[in-house]
Amino acid sequence: MPTHAELERIASVQIHKEEELILRDLGRQHPELSGAERHQAAELIQRNYRGYRERRQMRGLGLDASSRWVEAFKEARYRNLTMPRPRGSLEESGAGPGIDGSPLMKKPSDARSNWNKLGTIVRRAANDEDSSMQSSGEEESEESRRMKAEQREERQKSARTMVLQYWLEMVDVRHRYGNNLKIYHEEWQESNTKENFFYWLDYGEGRQIDCAGCPRERLDRERVRYLSKEERLDYLVKIDKDGLLCWAKNGARIDTTVKYKDSIHGIVPIDSDVPEFKFEDEEASAETARDNESDSSTSGEDEGVRDARHHYTNNNLDSAKSRKKVKHVSPATILNKLLRSSIKENTWIFVADTNFRLYVGIKQSGAFQHSSFLHGSRISAAGLLRIKDGLLHKLSPLSGHYRPPVSSFRAFMHALKDVGVDMSHVSISRSYALLVGLEAYIKTQKRSKKIVQRLIHGRDKSLSPDDVGFRQEEELDKSESVGRERRVLDMHEDGERELNRLNSKFTRKLHIGTRTPAHGNESMEEGYDETDGKEGVNVDGLRKEA
């Protein structure tokens, strides 16, 4: 990281370049002004702009230069750490090129490198947004700050991380959609390979594999946009004095209708000329995509919705006939049905972080999801919503990436009331009642399973306590690491047993360590008899003759 003095030097250079640009524009637009007048005007514009920028930063709507450096450093370090590399491709003594041709540092031990990578990924997934940025520049009392700190602590305790299968999406440097990656991950698990997953997928043995459930073209096309710390400020929501939801960037009231679209600068009117976001490697194929869209505009939208609904299919349930469908009904299939029905052409989603900063955007399945707002970090609530001219009309707790419990959704509604949101026209989606029923069903199942296990355990313990004890020991030792350790110990014991047998056989053949009994000519059994810890040597130091 640059030092504080270096950051100040960079900031001064930036200010100097900004002044040069302003002077050049003033000279082109107002040639009648003298050099001194242009310089004075440039200083005035610069001073006013810096004051505006500082006020935005104090309100939490912008980042200063040092914060940008910190975020850029964190992102570069994370991308370098998660870049797919072959196992054992580098020698311990030196460095070699990475996948992108960049030189790499000296390779540490595999175990340390893997633990370091795992720790970084877990810290990112379990990260909470810092509370240094306030949503308003107003002074707060000590009591208000204390209450907010307690509420934030409660939200952090109940915060949700992403479902484990979507961690693949977060770790992937290209952020391909997690459901698609899961299909290829299952294929990788079944393959007999020593390559790590992402190297196998893109550069190794699996780069030519095309899974039936998700073609390679869809895997590479559906990539989720993850917002940086500065980009997500374009989606930040604030509450005005009338309890209406407005964009923090400009104060405009939010309206979740087809009159708006997503862009590189957040949600803008549909007739705005601000371009849509595209990944850097998609620019080359942008013309082809536009041509395809112009050929069939309405049918393309319907096809996109159908393609998005494919993410939540229940193949076993859909393929079963008549009564056999009942066997495949489970809480997971019901939740997939709910998520599938929520995919429409104009679906708006929300996420609240652990500091209750609210972010709203337009869902694009496989492109912009709940995980996009906070870069896969923890959330306190997530779901769907509908807003008309700033007034909240509908809420739903559905989120495939986080799957928060209904308790988080209830806490979110209470928090909205506490901050003054007008809840007079809010209706709750029917999915809320279904989720309440599913959670009650799952809890009842777990309780009944525990009761049955306790009863069976008590019966077996009274009838055959020895068998129960043996079974408990076996259940404790079922982990893979324990099994591997047991196999190594067994091999070691077998080796020691074989070595002792060979040693005994060898000493018997050489008649070492035997002695003649006082009465009789029979030789003794093998050779550590009446010795002082040395094989075949008596206490008096003389070797016995056969």
pLDDT at residue 247 in the model:
94
User: What is the distance between the alpha carbons of residues 161 and 94, in angstroms, rounded to a whole number?
Assistant: 38
Q: How many separate domains does the chain show? A: 4
Give the three-state DSSP class for 506.
helix
CA neighbor of 420 nearest in space, from 295, 545, 243 = 243
Q: For the sheet with 381-388, list strands across it.
A: 245-247, 236-239, 358-362, 348-352, 381-388, 391-396, 427-428
Answer yes or no: is 538 within a domain.
yes
pLDDT at residue 529 in the model:
44
Answer yes or no: is 487 within a domain.
no
Q: Kindly report which listed range (41-50, 192-201, 479-488) carries the lowest average pLDDT score.
A: 479-488
Give the DSSP per-residue string, 287-310. Answer: HHHHHHHHH-HHHHHHHHHHHHHG
pLDDT at residue 61 in the model:
62
Last residue of a domain, one of 77, 96, 124: 124
Range of the domain at 11: 1-88+107-124
Please determine, for residue 132, whether its predicted confidence score (pLDDT) is greater than 80: no
Please determine, for residue 405, whether its predicted confidence score (pLDDT) is greater than 50: yes
Which residues does 47 contact at the CB level (< 8 Å), separation at least 6?
none
Answer yes or no: is 211 within a domain.
no
In this prediction, residues 21-46 reach a mean pLDDT of 81
Answer yes or no: is 190 within a domain.
no
CA neighbor of 169 nearest in space, from 219, 232, 210, 218 = 219
State whether 515 and 448 are in the same domain.
no
| Long-range contacts of residues 323-330, Cβ cutoff 8 Å, at least 24 apart | none
Last residue of a domain, one of 76, 96, 124: 124
pLDDT at residue 306 in the model:
54
Answer yes or no: is 29 within a domain.
yes
pLDDT at residue 162 in the model:
87
Last residue of a domain, one of 390, 406, 428: 428
State whether 355 and 463 are in the same domain.
no
In this prediction, residues 216-239 reach a mean pLDDT of 91
pLDDT at residue 440 in the model:
83
pLDDT at residue 39 in the model:
79
The model's confidence at residue 455, banded by pLDDT at 50, 70 and 90, is confident
Q: Which residue in this structure is represented by tokens 């009650």?
A: 440
pLDDT at residue 51 in the model:
72
Percent of the chain with pLDDT over 70: 68
State whether 380 and 466 are in the same domain.
no
State whether 360 and 247 are in the same domain.
yes
Burial of residue 1 (number of CB atoms within 10 Å: 0-12, 13-18, 19+) = exposed
Please determine, for residue 22, whether its predicted confidence score (pLDDT) is greater than 90: no
One-letter amino acid of 149 = A
In this prediction, residues 246-273 reach a mean pLDDT of 91
User: What is the distance between the alpha carbons of residues 171 and 96, in angstroms, rounded to a whole number?
Assistant: 23
pLDDT single digits (tens) 504-545: 777 777 665 544 444 444 444 444 344 444 444 443 444 444
pLDDT single digits (tens) 145-171: 777 777 777 777 778 888 888 889 988
State whether 420 and 443 are in the same domain.
no
Whether the Cβ atoms of residue 363 and residue 395 lie closer than 8 Å to each other: no
State whether 276 and 312 are in the same domain.
yes
Q: Which residue in this structure is represented by tokens 């009789």?
A: 520
Task: For residue 53, give both structure tokens.
Answer: 């920028």
What mean pLDDT, rounded, does the chain reach?
75
State whether 379 and 268 are in the same domain.
yes
pLDDT at residue 537 in the model:
40
pLDDT single digits (tens) 326-347: 555 666 667 667 777 667 778 8
For the ranges 41-50, 51-60, 216-225, 442-451, the maximum mean pLDDT occurs at: 216-225
Which residues does 530 contact at the CB level (< 8 Å), separation at least 6?
515, 538, 539
In this prediction, residues 249-272 reach a mean pLDDT of 91
Answer yes or no: is 119 within a domain.
yes
In this prediction, residues 483-489 reach a mean pLDDT of 70
Please determine, for residue 443, whether its predicted confidence score (pLDDT) is greater than 60: yes
pLDDT single digits (tens) 70-99: 777 888 888 888 888 887 654 333 444 444
Answer yes or no: is 97 within a domain.
no
pLDDT at residue 214 in the model:
87
Residue 273 — left, alpha, or beta (φ > 0 → left; ψ -120 to 50 → alpha)? Answer: alpha
State whether 376 and 240 are in the same domain.
yes
The model's confidence at residue 244, banded by pLDDT at 50, 70 and 90, is very high
The model's confidence at residue 480, banded by pLDDT at 50, 70 and 90, is low
Which residues does 509 contact at the CB level (< 8 Å), separation at least 6?
none
State whether 4 and 78 are in the same domain.
yes
Task: For residue 191, give both structure tokens.
Answer: 């393959």
Answer yes or no: is 167 within a domain.
no
| Separation of CA 512 from chain center | 67
Please determine, for residue 430, whether its predicted confidence score (pLDDT) is greater than 80: yes
State whether 117 and 266 are in the same domain.
no
Q: Within a 10 A sphere around the Cβ of 227, how many other Cβ atoms? A: 20
The model's confidence at residue 383, banded by pLDDT at 50, 70 and 90, is very high
In this prediction, residues 204-228 reach a mean pLDDT of 90
pLDDT at residue 348 in the model:
94
pLDDT at residue 328 in the model:
55
State whether 335 and 464 are in the same domain.
no
In this prediction, residues 362-386 reach a mean pLDDT of 90
In this prediction, residues 60-79 reach a mean pLDDT of 75
**DSSP state for residue 360 in the 8-state scheme:** E
State whether 422 and 361 are in the same domain.
yes
Give the three-state DSSP class for 230.
coil
More confident residue, 215 or 544: 215
